[in-house]
């Protein structure tokens, strides 16, 4: 929804190398958040799950 955002912290080489940072930023741009229909308190963490098939 319009009030949601994804926050992440980039560390290691991704924080010091422009080339590595670009790869991490591309990864963040490709993430899809599906939070479900159940209400959640503010700032609760949404569990992460990997897709069954890479790239899907």
Every domain of the chain and the residues it spans: 1-49
Residue 2 pLDDT > 80: no
Average pLDDT over the chain, rounded to whole? 82
Q: Is the pTM of this model over 0.75?
A: no
User: b/e string for 16-41 if b means 16 or more Cβ within 10 A?
Assistant: eeeeeeeebeeeeeeeeeeeeeeeee
Tell me: the pLDDT tens digits for 19-34?
Answer: 999 999 998 888 887 7
Residue 56 pLDDT > 70: no
Residue 35 pLDDT > 80: no
Give the length of the chain. 56
**Dihedral of the alpha carbons of 33, 28, 30, 23, in degrees to the nearest 10:** -160
Q: Locate all alpha helices (DSSP H) within 1-56, ordered by sequence.
A: 13-16, 18-29
Phi, psi (deg, nearest 5) at residue 52: -60, -40
């Amino acid at each position: 929804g319009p009030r949601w955002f994804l926050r992440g912290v980039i560390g290691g080489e991704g924080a010091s190398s422009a080339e590595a940072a670009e790869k991490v930023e591309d990864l963040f741009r490709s993430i899809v958040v599906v939070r479900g229909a159940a209400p959640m308190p503010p700032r609760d963490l949404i569990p992460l799950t990997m897709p069954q098939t890479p790239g899907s």
